[in-house]
Amino acid sequence: MNEEPEGITQTVEAGSTGGIVKDLGELPPGAILEEEAVARMFGRHAVSVKRAVERGELPPPVRMFGKPCWTAGAILAHIEGRLEAAKREAEKDAARIARLSP
């Protein structure tokens, strides 16, 4: 099997291996993803990716050769951080509701 070294730009087709998380999880953490690849992976247009960054749903990209780029690891870490924050918020809400319930 011919594996590319970390840091090589990966080409990803939407749904090519069974979903966004699986696609990201199968890439090396250092794999560089250009905006178009991220858009294809999420099944969205590049403008939607820009809006997702503005809303905080994706981390801010870095520019490489004039193009917005991320590493697969940075996107996964950002998503995991958002999931942890949502979990903490849900636990806080549940505790507040439990205190208020008779």
What would the pLDDT profile of 74-86 be if each residue is shown by its tens digit?
A: 999 999 999 999 9
- Single pTM value for the model: 0.74
Q: Is the pLDDT of residue 15 over 70?
A: no
The per-residue pLDDT for 20 is 66
CATH class of the domain comprising 20-100: mainly alpha
71 phi, psi to nearest 5 deg = -100, 155
Q: What is the pLDDT of residues 16-70, one digit of tens each?
A: 445 666 788 889 999 999 999 999 989 999 999 999 999 999 999 999 999 999 9
Token representation of residue 80: 């995991």
pLDDT of residue 19: 65
Q: How far apart are alpha carbons 70 and 47 in whole angstroms?
A: 16
- Asked whether the predicted pLDDT for residue 5 surpasses 60, the reply is no
